[in-house]
Structure 1
Amino acid sequence: MLKGIALSVMASVTFGVLYFYTYFLRPLDSEQTFAWRMLATLPFLTLFMWWSGDLKYVREIYNKICKQPSILIWLLISSFLCTTQLWLFLWGPINGRGLEVSLGYFLLPLVMVLFGCVLYKEKLSKWQIAAVFFAILGVSHEIWRIGTVAWETMYVAVAYPIYFFLRRKFGTDHLGGFLWDLLLVIPVAVFLAFFYSNTLPQIIEFKYLILAVLGLGCLSALGLGSYILASRYLPFVIFGLLSYLEPILLAGASMAMGERVEAGEWLTYIPIWFAVLLLILEGAIYLYRQRRTEKLLQYQHKKLQSRLAQNDEH
């Protein structure tokens, strides 16, 4: 559990950095940035998988395809659901729609919790129920304030839970499955980078873009790899609720890039920040009780050993 929480937090922080990082990729547009992100992520993700020991799953999926070619249909669907989200993640801040995308990430955890409760029969603690309540208040206020839900918001909120649910169902909920998601979109990335609009001359002209693209690949591999691993180690409900750290960071990055939170929007963000605070408090209390229990067990173990030693002397 703790490993999954640490990975989820690492992923959220990395995604927050990536949202702001798009500023350094100018003059590339969203499609060009997406293409180079896919191309640059692949080698760094391979290194990450070597470190995590997940490289074996790539061959495992290949063997499944050889035995049952129809699995390719699912892999293509999985790749589409995943990579279109990665494209939207970059498209939003570049095109001034960062807050609409970040609202999708506010709504996403609630949909994840719904999936966990309905499909996996997972239970919420009292702290988590309170966090969900405040999150619903915040998201409901934003939907009421805008009067509608943008397509970017709905796509983020709905497509990701479907993606993670189907990954578990088809047994590709590991980094090997994610690598196949990227491999299947590489032809599209090559087309966008070199044929649709050849960006190589731009990268050569603006030499800082070489380092920027390499940094994009490294950060993407770290963030996405951690996120996928966290989805394996955590229950659906906990995984969803922890995702609330990400939209807070995304909103902060959007504001750092020039977008502003209006006066009426604070009633959206404050309840959600409070929901995240409740989850942090629950986690802190859980860790405190766990450590106290461990110390008590250690004390009892030492006391038992002392008594046994005294009995041996007698």
Structure 2
Amino acid sequence: MYKGVALSVLASATFGVLYFYTQFLKPLDSEQTFAWRMLATLPFLTLFMWKSGELKHIADIFKRIFRQPWMLPWLIFSSVLCTTQLWLFLWGPINGRGLQVSLGYFLLPLVMVLVGCVLYKEKLTRWQLAAVALAVLGVGHEIWRIGGIAWETLYVALAYPLYFFMRRALKTDHLGGFWWDLFLILPAACYLGFVYSDSMALLLDYSHLIWAVIGLGFLSALGLGSYILASRYLPFVIFGLLSYLEPVLLAFASIMMGERVEASEWLTYIPIWLAVVLLVIEGCLHLIRQKRNANMLNRNVENVQKRLESE
């Protein structure tokens, strides 16, 4: 569980950096940036899997495709669900829609919690219930304020839960499954990068873009790999609630890039930020209790050993 929490926090922090990182990729547009992100992420992800001993999962899925051909269409659908989210993640801040995308990530954990409670019968603690209530208040206010939900927000909130549910159902909820998500989209990435636009000329004209693309691939592999592993190690509810750290960081990144939170939007963001604070407090209290219980167990073991030695 602790490993899953650490991976989730690492992923959220990396995504926050990536949101701001798009400024270094100009003059590439969102489609070109997406193409190079896919092309640069796969080698780093493969290296990461080699170091962690997870390359075997790639071959396992390949063998399953031959034994169960019906898997291939579902893998392609999984790839589309995943990579369109990655495109939207970059498209938002580049086109001044960063806050709409970040609101989708605010709404996403609520949908994840709902999926966990309904489909997987997972239970919420009192702290988590309070965090959910605050999040509902914030998201509900935003929906009331704008009179609806932007398509970017809705797509983020609904497509990701379907993606993770499908991965668990197909038993591809590991880095091997994510590797196939990226691999199957490579033809589209090559088309966007080399046919649809001559982005290679831009890379040659702007020398900093080569290093920026390499950094993009490394950060993407680190963040996405950590995110996928966290979804495997954590219950759906906990994974969903921890995801609140990401939209907070994305909102801050959007503000740093020039977007502004209006006075009427504060009732959206403050309750959600408070929800994140509650989750942090609960996590700290849980660690304190775990440490206290471990110390008590060690003292009991020492007392038993002394008693046995005295006898």
If the TM-score is normalised by the length of the shorter chain, which range does it land in?
over 0.9
> 2:42 corresponds to which residue?
42
> 2:178 corresponds to which residue?
178
Q: Give the drift of 1:48.
A: 1.3
Which secondary structure does the structure 1 equivalent of 2:294 belong to?
A: helix
1:112-131 per-residue CA deviation (whole Å, 9 max, x = no partner) reads 00000000010101110000
> 2:191 corresponds to which residue?
191
CA distance in 2, matches of 1:238, 1:268: 22
CA distance in 1, matches of 2:73, 2:23: 36
CA distance in 1, matches of 2:71, 2:147: 41
Code of the aligned partner of 1:304:
V
CA distance in 2, matches of 1:209, 1:34: 14
Code of the aligned partner of 1:35:
A
> 2:265 corresponds to which residue?
265
> 1:10 corresponds to which residue?
10
CA distance in 2, matches of 1:141, 1:71: 41
> 1:206 corresponds to which residue?
206
> 2:238 corresponds to which residue?
238
Identity %: 70
Code of the aligned partner of 2:208:
Y
CA distance in 2, matches of 1:112, 1:51: 31
1:134-177 per-residue CA deviation (whole Å, 9 max, x = no partner) reads 00000001111111100000000000000000100011100000
1:256 paired to 2:256:
yes
> 2:129 corresponds to which residue?
129
Structure 2, gaps ≥5 residues long:
none
Q: Give the drift of 1:53.
A: 2.2
CA distance in 1, matches of 2:163, 2:141: 27
Structure 1, gaps ≥5 residues long:
none
Q: Give the drift of 1:64.
A: 0.3
> 2:78 corresponds to which residue?
78
Code of the aligned partner of 2:275:
A
TM-score normalised according to structure 1 size: 0.98
> 1:57 corresponds to which residue?
57
Q: Give the drift of 1:78.
A: 0.2
CA distance in 2, matches of 1:190, 1:89: 19
Q: Give the drift of 1:307.
A: 1.2
Q: Give the drift of 1:237.
A: 0.3
TM-score normalised according to structure 2 size: 0.99
The aligned length equals 311
Which secondary structure does the structure 2 equivalent of 1:57 belong to?
A: helix
Code of the aligned partner of 2:55:
L
Code of the aligned partner of 1:97:
R
Q: Give the drift of 1:255.
A: 0.5
Code of the aligned partner of 1:191:
Y
Which secondary structure does the structure 1 equivalent of 2:185 belong to?
A: helix
Which secondary structure does the structure 2 equivalent of 1:307 belong to?
A: helix
CA distance in 1, matches of 2:39, 2:30: 14
> 1:303 corresponds to which residue?
303
CA distance in 2, matches of 1:12, 1:58: 25
Which secondary structure does the structure 1 equivalent of 2:124 belong to?
A: coil
Which secondary structure does the structure 2 equivalent of 1:180 belong to?
A: helix
Which secondary structure does the structure 2 equivalent of 1:222 belong to?
A: helix
Off by >4 Å, runs of 4+ in structure 1: none
CA distance in 1, matches of 2:228, 2:120: 18
Which secondary structure does the structure 2 equivalent of 1:268 belong to?
A: helix
Q: Give the drift of 1:65.
A: 0.6
Which secondary structure does the structure 1 equivalent of 2:258 belong to?
A: coil
CA distance in 1, matches of 2:178, 2:241: 22
Q: Give the drift of 1:51.
A: 2.5
CA distance in 1, matches of 2:126, 2:70: 44
